[in-house]
Amino acid sequence: MQSTRVAILGVDVGGTFTDAVLLDGGRVRTAKVPTAERQEESVVAAARAVGAKTVERFAHGTTTATNALLERRGARTAYVGNAGFEHLLHLRRQTRAQLYRLCAQHPEPLVPLERCHGVRGRLGPGGELEPLGEIPDVGDVDAVAVCLLFSFRDPSHERTVAAELRRRHPGVHVVASHEVAPEFREYERASTTAADAYLAPVTARYLGALAEAARAAGLPEPLVMLSSGGVASVAEAAAHPATILVSGPAAGVVGAGIVARRAGYADAIAFDMGGTSTDVCLLPGGRAARVAERDLGGLPIRLPTVDLHTVGAGGGSLVRVDAGGAIRVGPESAGAHPGPACYGAGGGATVTDANLLLGRLPAELPGGLVLDRDAAAAALGGVDPAAVIDVVNAEMLRALRVVSVERGHDPRDFALVAFGGAGPLHACALAEDLGIGHVLVPEAAGVLSALGLVASERRRDRVESHVRRSRRSPCCRARARPISATGGSRSSSPSRCSPISPLRSTARTRSGTGTRTTRARSSSSPFAPPTSSPGLTCPCEAHPGTWYRGVSIWTGPPSGSPRAGAGRRTTTARWC
Amino acid sequence: MNVELQVIGSSLRAIAEEMGAVLVRSAFSANIKERRDCSTALFDEGGRMVVQAEHIPVHLGAMPDAVAAVMTLPGEQWILNDPYTGGTHLPDVTVVSRTALGYAVSRAHHADVGGMEPASLPAFSRELYQEGLVIPPTPLTDEVVSLFVANARNPDERRGDLRAQIAAHRLAAARVDELCARRGRDRVAAAMDELYAYSERMVRAAIERLPDGTRSAEDVVEAVDGELTIRATVTVDGDEIHIDFAGTDPQDAHNLNCPLAVTKSACYFVVRCLTEPDLPASGGAFAPVRVTAPEGCLVNARRPAAVVAGNTETSSRIVDVVFAAFGEYAQGQGTMNNVALGNDRFTYYETIGGGQGACADADGPSAVHVTMSNTLITPVEALELAYPIRVEAWALRERSGGAGAHRGGDGVVRELRVLEDCRLSVLAERRARGPRGAAGGDGGAPGRTLVNGEERAAKLTAALRAGDLLRIETPGGGGFGAATPPAR
């Protein structure tokens, strides 16, 4: 399909290193450079290091938005909700942060109370209850998030509010919830919208600088990796930065999928064990499973995201023995400085030290770092290094089971793709425990995310909630067997369930933006949701007596793009 | 701790958590699906709780009694809700089933189990029989299911929720089978023993660090006929704790009574907070704690005393009293603000969060469930789509938390307008007196219940007409330490 002369560049910015992969005339070249303070400079440096000259396509994974969220470096943001509901971001869902620590606080909301405003006017489930009132003064801010009740069904009030705010404050970034996540359940939608607005100015600044730097270096405009595992234009990503919060890890998952498919394995599990944390993701059919919502820094982000399960343990995780005599690993990490004890810089005992003592690491790392065995042994004290590995592997096993067994998949049918600094060290033991017969360690294990960028496809996610009473559904009567017969919510297949078809047509009618969609190719399509998402079930089995929620996700290149028509897919996903 | 056993232990925890996920995802009612008012746990062959998924604290201590109640009965799967044999209050329906090794337990709050008021939370019940159908430990058969749903106002929803529980139990059975097949039944049994023993060791070590001695504290609940006193005496002796309720008032003529199982849950909660808050839940954590109370008192009621508010309201106050006996403690809202609405076409139940009391080193969080509950609020959009109710306000009750060196958390305001004629029940506390501050901190604002703008009592049952407005203002938490005067 593609000419072998086409050069494709992928650059992934991480916390410590920026990785580049160049696919040029069928050859793959890789490079690693230290990440600089200004990320765009390291991107260009990495591109130069890998020898990128005439590049046709340039894809990029970034942590700018994620870091800005976690470090709270986003814009001065205001929030506009319905009058009487203006504190929504501060009320959350009323659960406490920790069950048995009474004063543990949730992370502070992105918008402080004094910048939360209410507007009169109300939509209900059946339409307008009260006409829209006067739009409040949002004061001196850089961004505004607007989230009104039932806007997922009728965005008219939100549209008016957003338009008026844009008119009043031309320089201010205004996001309405229906533009970013037109989904049911107001708190999760508001939280997503607030994050989107909060991150927009800083992300737009970075992506603008990057596009400028790329142009100066003779590179094409970058495509940005989305949390959902596809790429979007700089303009799209800058408009809704909440969609790129898992950009880097998503690229790794895509890379793992490529490795698995190339090696001839249809189904794989990506296992990315880094220094401080580990990400696992199921890849049925070689493509990432997706979820509709993910928590980031304690804030729900309700957008399609590769179904990564993250564990707070990695190679650099510190090891200790608690009062009950149990070995605990993580979540504290030795980081890169001082690093594990064996780096000789005064660090504590880590998983890496245990691996060294077990003879699983060479005396000298490829970078020239000489590992200090005695320091490792001293730091671990009397703790058996094999026991440390067993404990950390138990954590990893739990994560692998969460994404496989708990989602109704038998891990024995999957290949384990191990990458990240520590992934390959642990993969075989984990595979044995799970009954997995094949472990793939890619040659580019260190730069797999950048490889994923090279191979990524254009993607646009659109999500809608449709809430119906399912007792009206003919499907329910036809399939009125007890839930217990299927062991709850996991073994049924929505592809056989009739109400999905009308829902699809609803979705098509409502698109209206020129993004035509097509039906899923078949139930065995790699994107078919039945095997790829937690809790997927026929709605009538989930809630025979009450309402249910359906969400359509469809993807494909934006209309008018040169590649329109390629890779267009429709899926109907996630019922609960 | 043996590493293999630690690994099996995390598998057992995963099973309990997965049971909870199945129950929440496949339930019908908003109370389980949106609010997650349910808990799941695994027990060993001896009826000891080995792991519990982290859901609702009030279910914690009461589950072992449920298993003890069915162990001698024939059958493989049982149902119960009798507060005097293994239950808490009637809406909490418990299913227990045999697994290849021990028992699986699920407890879910059903939005209606019959009785004198829709949603089965009558404010003025005087005996258990008025609160709904009483199910003693009984083998769970199709006939029992029919009997149960026939006694509830929303039979379809009840059947669906119960089936969701059964689905969770099928999952537990399959998962325990798999685990025993992989690891060997003996090793799994050994891991169960070790999990229990490990929690016990951890908690004993933590109790050892608490100062020995005996201290008492008391507080009141706002009963229909006047205030009733709860008095607790806590004795820390080496690595054991004894909590005694001698001096507590006799049982309430209405429904603030607790069966001892609920009282134990509240005591265990406090010990958990003070010792090892991050420890995975297991019965071993409570082995060093002994709870006693005179029979026939408010916190150890005798059948057939009514109990519906004991589980939510009195349990919250027991927590306050026991915490106070351990040391300086700023009180949180101390109520769950139970609201039940219903007629013959719908029943809706929710509990509403409020202010947490401040701690010695931190402000109290606002708008959270304090102590014995941790259920979610139903989203406005979910509520309005499913019920003839309109939410008119859902906001922080600003400045309701007590001032202090550390501020108490703020309560919330919630307004519900009913769109059909229906019955309302509100079971709440801290309407007359607000939560107390500690160490010189101010108290939090007391809560308020208003119907069409008119302030009502803490316990309320009333007929509402379509268009009537209920407003709940929940209490703020107490402050901790004297507030520093503003600098001049």
Determine whether the interchain pair B381/A92 forms a contact, defined as Cβ–Cβ distance below 8 Å: no
Does A268 reside within a domain? no
pLDDT reported for residue B35: 87
Distance from CA of A143 to the nearest CA of B (A): 23
Among B5, B25, B162, B391, which would you mutate to test the A interface (most chain A Cβ atoms within 10 Å of its Cβ)?
B25
Distance from CA of B305 to the nearest CA of A (A): 30
Does A549 reside within a domain? yes
Distance CA A476, CA A165 (A): 45
Same domain, A61 and A107: no
pLDDT reported for residue A37: 80
Same domain, A62 and A79: no
pLDDT reported for residue A367: 67
Asked if A307 reaches chain B (Cβ–Cβ under 8 Å), the answer is: no
Distance from CA of B319 to the nearest CA of A (A): 12
- What's the pLDDT tens digit per position in A195-214? 999 999 999 999 999 999 99
pLDDT reported for residue A431: 92
Does A360 reside within a domain? no
State the average pLDDT over residues A328-351.
84
Which residue is it, tokens 């995201």? A305
Q: Are B151 and B454 in contact (CB under 8 A)?
A: no
Same domain, A79 and A186: yes
Nearest residue of chain A to residue B397 (CA atoms): A87
pLDDT reported for residue A346: 86
pLDDT of B369 higher than 60:
yes
Determine the length of chain A: 576
β-strand partners of A406: none
- What's the pLDDT tens digit per position in B115-158? 999 999 999 999 999 999 999 999 999 999 999 999 999 899 99
Q: Where are the alpha helices (DSSP H) in B74-232?
A: 142-150, 155-183, 185-209
Asked if A576 reaches chain B (Cβ–Cβ under 8 Å), the answer is: yes
pLDDT reported for residue A494: 30
pLDDT reported for residue B471: 98
Nearest residue of chain B to residue A325 (CA atoms): B1
Pairing of strands A317-321, A290-291: unpaired
Same domain, A30 and A80: no
pLDDT reported for residue B3: 65
Q: Least CB-CB distance to B376: which of A88, A95, A393?
A: A95
Determine whether the interchain pair B6/A95 forms a contact, defined as Cβ–Cβ distance below 8 Å: no
Does B189 reside within a domain? yes
pLDDT of A394 higher than 80:
yes
Q: Quote the ipTM score.
A: 0.92
Q: Are B162 and B148 in contact (CB under 8 A)?
A: yes
pLDDT reported for residue B265: 93
pLDDT of A117 higher than 80:
yes
pLDDT reported for residue B4: 72
pLDDT reported for residue A527: 28
**The domain boundary residue, chosen from B138, B163, B198:** B198
pLDDT reported for residue A406: 64
pLDDT greater at residue A478 or residue B113: B113
Same domain, A57 and A95: no
Chain A residues 448-507 within an 8 A CB cutoff of chain B: 467, 482-484, 486-490
pTM, to two decimals: 0.85
Nearest residue of chain B to residue A324 (CA atoms): B202
Nearest residue of chain A to residue B29 (CA atoms): A546
Tokens standing for B281?
Answer: 């839940």
Same domain, A60 and A209: yes
Confidence label for B174 from pLDDT (cuts 50, 70 and 90): very high
Among B4, B26, B319, B347, which would you mutate to test the A interface (most chain A Cβ atoms within 10 Å of its Cβ)?
B26
Q: What are phi and psi of A301, to 5 degrees?
A: -120, 110
Does B281 reside within a domain? no
Among A100, A309, A327, which would you mutate to test the B interface (most chain B Cβ atoms within 10 Å of its Cβ)?
A100
- What's the pLDDT tens digit per position in B419-446? 999 999 999 999 999 999 999 999 999 9
Question: Which residues in chain B are closer than 8 Å to A354, comparing Cβ atoms?
Answer: none
Determine whether the interchain pair A402/B4 forms a contact, defined as Cβ–Cβ distance below 8 Å: no
pLDDT greater at residue A534 or residue A128: A128
Among B2, B3, B336, B369, which would you mutate to test the A interface (most chain A Cβ atoms within 10 Å of its Cβ)?
B3
Does A434 reside within a domain? no
CB pairs under 8 A, 24+ apart, for A339-345?
A340/A315, A340/A316, A340/A376, A341/A372, A341/A375, A341/A376, A341/A378, A341/A379, A341/A380, A342/A371, A342/A372, A342/A373, A342/A375, A342/A376, A343/A369, A343/A371, A343/A372, A344/A370, A344/A372, A344/A375
Tokens standing for B127?
Answer: 């005996």
pLDDT greater at residue A472 or residue B471: B471
Determine whether the interchain pair A185/B381 forms a contact, defined as Cβ–Cβ distance below 8 Å: yes
Residue A62: which CATH number? Answer: 3.30.420.40
Does B230 reside within a domain? no
Same domain, A84 and A41: no
Closest CA to A517 of A477, A464, A466: A464
Distance CA B403, CA B381 (A): 34
pLDDT reported for residue B486: 62
The angle formed by the CA atoms of residues B202, B18 and B312, to the nearest 5 degrees, is: 70
Same domain, A188 and A215: no
Which residue is it, tokens 């008026």? A164
DSSP B46-86: TS-EEEE-SS-HHHHTTHHHHHHHHTTSSSSEEEE--TTTT
Does B423 reside within a domain? yes
Instruction: Using alpha carbons, list the distances in angstroms from residue B17 to A99, A406, B22, B106, B171.
Output: 15, 10, 9, 11, 11
Torsion sign (Cα): A563, A62, A531, A302: negative
Question: Which residues in chain A are closer than 8 Å to B370, comparing Cβ atoms?
Answer: 96, 102
Q: Are A159 and A145 in contact (CB under 8 A)?
A: no
Nearest residue of chain B to residue A96 (CA atoms): B368
pLDDT reported for residue B53: 86
pLDDT reported for residue B341: 95
Determine whether the interchain pair B164/A186 forms a contact, defined as Cβ–Cβ distance below 8 Å: no
pLDDT reported for residue A403: 81
3-state secondary structure B314-369: HHHHHHHHHHHHHCCCCCCCCCCCEEEEECCCCEEEECCCECCCCECCECCCCCEC
pLDDT reported for residue A475: 33
% chain A with pLDDT above 90: 46
Same domain, B19 and B164: yes
Does A88 reside within a domain? yes
- What's the pLDDT tens digit per position in B234-288? 999 999 999 999 999 999 999 999 999 999 999 999 999 999 888 888 899 999 9
Number of domains forming the structure of chain B: 2
Does B323 reside within a domain? no
User: Using CA atoms in the order A252, A258, A262, A263, what is the torsion angle rounded to 10 degrees?
Assistant: 40
Q: Where are the alpha helices (DSSP H) in A421-528?
A: 423-434, 448-455, 474-478, 500-511
Distance from CA of B301 to the nearest CA of A (A): 27
Does B487 reside within a domain? yes
% chain B with pLDDT above 90: 85
Does B298 reside within a domain? no
State the average pLDDT over residues B461-480.
97
Question: Which residues in chain A are closer than 8 Å to B374, comparing Cβ atoms?
Answer: 95-96, 99
Number of domains forming the structure of chain A: 3
pLDDT reported for residue A277: 81
β-strand partners of B223: B226
Helix (H, G, I), strand (E, B) or coil at A131: coil
Q: Are A66 and A202 in contact (CB under 8 A)?
A: no
Question: Which residues in chain A are closer than 8 Å to B386, comparing Cβ atoms?
Answer: 546-547
pLDDT reported for residue A5: 59
pLDDT reported for residue A563: 39
**The domain boundary residue, chosen from B153, B182, B198:** B198
Among A101, A404, A483, A536, which would you mutate to test the B interface (most chain B Cβ atoms within 10 Å of its Cβ)?
A483
Determine whether the interchain pair A87/B396 forms a contact, defined as Cβ–Cβ distance below 8 Å: yes
Angle of the B185-209 helix axis to the B155-183 helix axis, nearest 10: 100
Distance CA B234, CA B256 (A): 22
pLDDT reported for residue B488: 56
Asked if A313 reaches chain B (Cβ–Cβ under 8 Å), the answer is: no
Nearest residue of chain A to residue B197 (CA atoms): A324
Tokens standing for A248?
Answer: 């880097």
Distance from CA of A350 to the nearest CA of B (A): 17
pLDDT of B328 higher than 50:
yes
Average pLDDT of chain A?
79
Tokens standing for B447?
Answer: 């809560």
Asked if A103 reaches chain B (Cβ–Cβ under 8 Å), the answer is: yes
Q: What are phi and psi of A315, to 5 degrees?
A: -60, -35
pLDDT of B2 higher than 90:
no
Confidence label for A505 from pLDDT (cuts 50, 70 and 90): very low
Q: Least CB-CB distance to A94: which of B29, B377, B406?
A: B377
Q: Least CB-CB distance to A85: which of B57, B370, B395?
A: B395
Question: Which residues in chain B are closer than 8 Å to A106, comparing Cβ atoms?
Answer: 365
Q: Are B280 and B199 in contact (CB under 8 A)?
A: yes
**The domain boundary residue, chosen from B150, B167, B198:** B198
Q: What are phi and psi of B400, to 5 degrees?
A: -85, -20
Same domain, A507 and A525: yes
Same domain, A224 and A80: no
Nearest residue of chain A to residue B393 (CA atoms): A84
- What's the pLDDT tens digit per position in A144-195? 999 999 999 999 999 999 999 999 999 999 999 999 999 989 999 999 999 9
Residue A191: enclosing H or E segment and its boundaries?
helix A186-216
β-strand partners of A278: A273, A311
Same domain, A481 and A567: yes
**The domain boundary residue, chosen from A157, A180, A197:** A197
The domain in which residue A44 lies consists of 7-69+204-247
Determine whether the interchain pair B359/A103 forms a contact, defined as Cβ–Cβ distance below 8 Å: yes
**The domain boundary residue, chosen from A131, A166, A197:** A197
pLDDT reported for residue A572: 27
pLDDT reported for residue A531: 29
Distance CA A216, CA A212 (A): 6
Does A371 reside within a domain? no
Average pLDDT of chain B?
94
Determine whether the interchain pair B201/A395 forms a contact, defined as Cβ–Cβ distance below 8 Å: no
Closest CA to B433 of B370, B398, B480, B478: B478
Which residue type sits at B344?
Answer: D
Tokens standing for A25?
Answer: 């005339």
pLDDT reported for residue B224: 93
- What's the pLDDT tens digit per position in B66-84? 999 999 999 999 999 999 9
The domain in which residue B401 lies consists of 329-488
DSSP A262-278: HTT-SSEEEEEE-SS-E
Does B226 reside within a domain? no
Nearest residue of chain A to residue B155 (CA atoms): A545
Instruction: Using alpha carbons, list the distances in angstroms from residue B76 to A187, A207, B68, B73, B164.
Output: 42, 62, 14, 9, 17
Distance CA B84, CA B69 (A): 10
Which of A83-87, A495-499, B293-297, B392-396 has the weakest average pLDDT?
A495-499
State the average pLDDT over residues A226-251.
93
- What's the pLDDT tens digit per position in A260-295? 998 899 899 999 988 778 899 999 888 888 888 898
Highest mean pLDDT among A87-91, B27-31, B373-377: A87-91
Does A560 reside within a domain? yes
Same domain, A146 and A32: no
pLDDT reported for residue A498: 26
The angle formed by the CA atoms of residues B301, B304 and B308, to the nearest 5 degrees, is: 70
Question: Which residues in chain B are closer than 8 Å to A152, comparing Cβ atoms?
Answer: 381
Confidence label for A66 from pLDDT (cuts 50, 70 and 90): confident
Distance from CA of B253 to the nearest CA of A (A): 32
Instruction: Using alpha carbons, list the distances in angstroms from residue A298 to A195, A295, A382, B144, B402.
Output: 12, 6, 37, 43, 27
